[in-house]
Structure 1
Amino acid sequence: MKTEQILAEIREANLSYLMLAQSLIRADREQALFRLGVTEETAAMIDVLSPAQMLKIASTNTLLCQFRMDDNLVWGLLTNHGKPAANEGISRLHASILMAGRYDHAA
């Protein structure tokens, strides 16, 4: 992939993320804080961004979002490596509980 293509894809991902984040924040702020893993202050800033501001922010060469699953346990639960499909719901619920606990500690 060429650098220009990578930067264009980063801009697209950033804009999509900002639009989704703003939509979630406006629809249900508490749920958005949890799902996005952002603070109230960050949510307040995203909430008031104009379309022009979102385009400008999205044009940076760095991804705005990041992976929040930073350990093997959560990744294993989400991917269900080596587990039967019947346990998929339980594994996803367990992963959600673990990530919710981390959100609660960060807030």
Structure 2
Amino acid sequence: MNADQILSEIREANLSYLMLAQSLIRTDREQALYRLGISEESASMIALLSPAQMMKIASGNTLLCRFRMDDDLVWGLLTNHGKTASNDTTSRLHASILMAGRHQEAA
């Protein structure tokens, strides 16, 4: 993949992310804040973006979304291979709780 293709993929991902974020915010604001890991202020701005503004923001060369799993514990819980289905469910729930707690700290 060359540089132009990568930039095109980033722009497409940005636009998809903004459209999803705006839809989530307009549908269920509290769930959106949790699922997106964004502040109330960011949610308010995203909710008011026009399609033209979303296109302009998405056209940058920097990815707008980021991974929220920034430590080994959460990654380990999410990628817990070889565990039973019930253990996998518990691990994913634990990871969700940890990420939700980090969202509350950031907000």
Structure 1 ranges of 4+ moved more than 6 A: none
> Unmatched 5+ residue regions in structure 2?
none
Aligned to 2:79: 79
Once residues 3 and 11 of structure 1 are traced to their aligned partners in structure 2, the CA distance between those partners, rounded to angstroms, is 12
Alpha-carbon distance, 1:90 to partner: 0.6
Aligned to 2:66: 66
Aligned to 2:91: 91
Once residues 100 and 53 of structure 2 are traced to their aligned partners in structure 1, the CA distance between those partners, rounded to angstroms, is 30
Aligned to 2:39: 39
Alpha-carbon distance, 1:71 to partner: 0.6
Alpha-carbon distance, 1:28 to partner: 0.5
Alpha-carbon distance, 1:87 to partner: 1.0
Once residues 17 and 11 of structure 1 are traced to their aligned partners in structure 2, the CA distance between those partners, rounded to angstroms, is 10
TM-score by length of 2: 0.96
TM-score by length of 1: 0.96
- How many pairs does the alignment contain? 107
Once residues 84 and 32 of structure 2 are traced to their aligned partners in structure 1, the CA distance between those partners, rounded to angstroms, is 31
> Unmatched 5+ residue regions in structure 1?
none
Once residues 19 and 35 of structure 2 are traced to their aligned partners in structure 1, the CA distance between those partners, rounded to angstroms, is 14
Q: How much is the aligned-residue C-alpha RMSD, in angstroms?
A: 0.9
Alpha-carbon distance, 1:84 to partner: 2.8
